[in-house]
Structure 1
Amino acid sequence: MTLSIIQARVPGAAPPPPVLHGPARLPATEAPRALVAGIGFRHATSADEILALVAEGLRQADLPSAHLAALATAADRAGDRAIRDAAEALGVPLVAIGVEALREAGRRVVTRSVRIEALRGVGSLAEAAALAAAGPDGRLVLPRIASAGATCALAASGDALPS
């Protein structure tokens, strides 16, 4: 499977340059997907740690992995091997969220990290990435959870999943 990286943007902002493109289409026989896992991670984090954290998030939200539509992270981290390998292992595209889109979605996060707020201007990178990728009507299904080197939050588009 070829990995897709999609650049999210704030409505009205200039379109960003494309990052990577490729076919990451779902077979028609798969269950509908509506869920985005936002991921924040440190440079030394492995794909296995990200995968374990996503699995734990889905378990905590009591949602099947078939609902997972994408991973999302900050655009400047989307080229990192660990996040790309995690997306590929899950069979979902990777959504690269630009700074403006992160900050816009950051207004809706529910958890706050002083460190990430100082570095990124948002309280939770994972929550902001998930919300930005889910769109303006997206809602958090699972606030940020953390492992030693990563954070994960789950968001759904509008009413795509039951409350």
Structure 2
Amino acid sequence: MPAVTPVIAGLGFRQQTSCQALRQALNAALAAAAAGQVGVALTLRALATADDKCQHPSLAQLAAELALPLHAVPLAQLAAQPAHASARVPARYGARSLAEAAALAAAGPGAVLACKRHVSTDGSATAAIALSFSLSQMP
């Protein structure tokens, strides 16, 4: 039986994004993360984004459909994460991938990216997956 590793999905998106675009980016990121983890089963435990985006209707719909909690990450925590640079991300998010930063921040100490951000076909949403070693310590 493979080891089970909890993961957190970080999501970044534009105001006009749809639940479908968020799901598409999430599914692509999950597939890439799983492909890179031989012999490990990934268990999605939560979604995360910037605290000023967590009330977006499409994100709330996705969290409800997946029955997952949504973590609102404070802007200061986002800026402190070692996410990849992104010219499309506003300075208030640290000018780095919001999806990657949110995933890392919400996954806790020692978290690492299982994959870089993936972008929805319409370009309105991104998702990244972080391995959470602090959650794997929990019962």
With normalisation by structure 1, the TM-score equals: 0.70
Query: What's the counterpart of residue 80 of structure 1?
Result: 56
Paired with 1:72 and 1:113, the residues of 2 have a C-alpha distance of 18
The match for 2:127 among 147, 152, 157 is 152
Q: Which runs of 4+ in 1 moved over 3 A?
A: 63-66
Among candidates 85, 97, 104, match of residue 124 of structure 1: 97
Q: Which is further off, 113-122 or 56-65?
A: 56-65
Hey, what's the Cα distance between the residues in 2 that align with 1:65 and 1:47?
A: 25
For 2:17, what is the secondary structure of its paired residue? coil
CA RMSD across the alignment: 2.3
Cα separation, 2, equivalents of 1:38 and 1:132: 9
1:67 aligned counterpart, secondary structure: strand
Of 58-67 and 111-120, deviating more is: 58-67
In structure 2, the residue matched to 1:70 is 46
Q: Helix, strand or coil: the match of 1:116?
A: coil
Given the alignment of the two structures, is residue 48 of structure 1 paired with residue 41 of structure 2, yes or no? Answer: no
Query: How much does 1:33 deviate?
Result: 6.3
Corresponding residue for residue 79 of structure 2:
103
Alignment of 1:89-100 (within 5 A): 89-100=65-76
**CA shift at 1:118, angstroms?**
3.0
SS state at 1:62 partner: helix
Query: Structure 1 residues 117, 80: closer, same or farther in 2, change over 3 A?
Result: closer
Q: For 1:77, what is the secondary structure of its paired residue?
A: coil
Identity within the alignment, %: 37
Counting matched residue pairs gives: 127
Q: Secondary structure, in 3 states, of the residue corresponding to 2:117? A: strand
Cα deviation 1:79-127 (Å, max 9, x = unaligned):
110111111111110000011111112xx11x21123153422411000
Letter in 1 for 2:119: A
Letter in 1 for 2:86: S
One-letter amino acid matched to 1:151: T
Give the structure, 1 or 2, with the largest relative contact order (CA under 8 Å, sep 6 or more). 2
Considering fraction of residues, name the structure with more strand: 2
Deviation, structure 1 residue 138:
0.6
